[in-house]
Amino acid sequence: MPDRHLMSGTQTGQTIWHRASAAAVADGPQTVLAVFTGRVTFANGEQGDYAGVETILMGDRAEPFSGTHTFLLADGSTCRQSFDGGVTRRVGDDRVSGTGEWRIISATGRFEGLDGGGPFTWSIEGDTYHAEFRAELDLT
């Protein structure tokens, strides 16, 4: 039986690579690609690793982002997720936070049988990332 506690918790990580494009028009938005990795701690106390990639449209207006990441448990169970959202607060270029939604794309092992997604909140200070997520899942 799928463990719903594996789909709520916190993530901490680091941006390990990013690249920004030049703005297509003067004072227009930039496209930023980022690769990140870190640890995830689930509501049941279990920990795992994650890695992912995202695209962010940085500008003066709403700054949307989207991407994917994969959770990996020590036993080899994986959960691949998509996410999207937007920046809701900016204090300089190195202190940013926002909200979003995540959704399961595929799952193996102990994640298998979980379906759905839910909301998350996140913040970045420098290259350090922190997120809190919770499940709004259907069990199949």
Q: Measure the CA–CA gap between 46 and 120, rounded to whole angstroms.
A: 19
Could you tell me the pTM of the whole model? Answer: 0.89
DSSP-based three-state secondary structure for 109:
helix
Q: Measure the CA–CA gap between 140 and 135, rounded to whole angstroms.
A: 14
Residues 100-135: pLDDT tens digits? 999 999 999 999 999 899 999 999 998 899 999 998
pLDDT of 15 higher than 60: yes
Place of tokens 């690579």: 17
pLDDT of 38 higher than 90: yes
Q: Measure the CA–CA gap between 124 and 47, rounded to whole angstroms.
A: 21
pLDDT of the residue at 20: 87
pLDDT band of residue 2 (cuts 50, 70, 90) is: low
**56: closest CA among 48, 65, 47, 45?**
65
The DSSP call for residue 7 is G
- Percent of the chain surpassing pLDDT 70: 92
Strand partners, 104: 81
User: What's at 1, amino acid-wise?
Assistant: M
Mean pLDDT (whole number) for 65-94 = 92
Q: Measure the CA–CA gap between 106 and 24, rounded to whole angstroms.
A: 35
**Mean of pLDDT over the chain:** 89
